[in-house]
Structure 1
């Protein structure tokens, strides 16, 4: 197995174990302790604790969260993934109380690995706007333009 194949398998494992099974022991095994991440919210912890908090944040809002890697592309010591996230909004999410609505969005992540196969750098992005539409906290633009959402035009 090449390093690139190993790194792609590790990213697939992150979805299967960390996200879908909430296995935080795997986070400690997969991510470097000094993980650099793009989670820049005030008070967000550094290192791999930041990734653990990210998983916890989403799982509290969407307890049945399920993520799948749709595409995995490796180049050198980096892996890019396109993922699909599905779940039911049953808990607080950015101050939005649980709605009971099901969501289905896509996102992308970037992982950089060291020579030992541990993740050293991590960035992610999900379709937050699409998620807010699905939660019903924002009107769909085409409905708002047509006045279907009850607003006056």
Structure 2
């Protein structure tokens, strides 16, 4: 892949994060439809029974319901070949049920790292590591 293609892939991820940070479910769904392959391979915790781009949409529905002001800050982006790696800091206020924890009103901050693989200009595969334990501890679900 050319350097321009690699740069374009990183720009695609940043466009997706802009949609996510809008908090607009419809805009996020449109971004998924535009930027993600329908048969996306998604290697991260996802709702059971869903796959592909629909699973990614569902993840954001769940997150926005629990953290309506969720914000993803991209700390680092690394592009090489057909892959883009991002290290993010996520913040939000717990206003809806999450993982069985009722709303607490607490503000949370957690880290995540995702590797996006591109094919034909769209995200074809995602591998993610999300610090869910830290998030759940901040919500009081686990002792610190």
- TM norm. shorter chain > 0.5: yes
Q: CA RMSD in A?
A: 1.5
The answer to whether residue 97 in structure 2 is matched with residue 97 in structure 1 is: no
1:69 to 66, 74, 80: 74
Aligned length: 138
CA displacement at 1:69 relative to structure 2: 1.2
2:84 to 55, 79, 84: 79
Is the 8 Å Cα contact of residues 47 and 55 (structure 2) preserved in structure 1?
no
List runs of 5+ in structure 2 lacking aligned partners.
none
CA displacement at 1:44 relative to structure 2: 3.5
CA displacement at 1:26 relative to structure 2: 1.1
Task: Give SS of 1:137's match.
Answer: coil
CA displacement at 1:42 relative to structure 2: 6.1
Change (3 A) 1:92 1:16: same
Change (3 A) 1:39 1:105: closer
More strand by share: 2
CA displacement at 1:27 relative to structure 2: 0.7
Q: d(CA) in 2 for partners of 1:109 and 1:70?
A: 12
Query: Which is higher, the Rg of structure 1 or of structure 2?
Result: 1
TM-score by length of 1: 0.85
1:8 to 1, 7, 10: 10
Task: Give SS of 1:99's match.
Answer: coil
Cα deviation 1:91-119 (Å, max 9, x = unaligned): 111111110000011110010001x3100
Q: Which residue of 2 aligns with 1:57?
A: 62
Task: Give SS of 1:2's match.
Answer: helix
CA displacement at 1:52 relative to structure 2: 0.2
Give 4+ residue runs of structure 1 displaced > 2 Å after superposition.
Answer: 39-44
The answer to whether residue 136 in structure 2 is matched with residue 135 in structure 1 is: no
Q: d(CA) in 1 for partners of 2:86 and 2:42?
A: 16
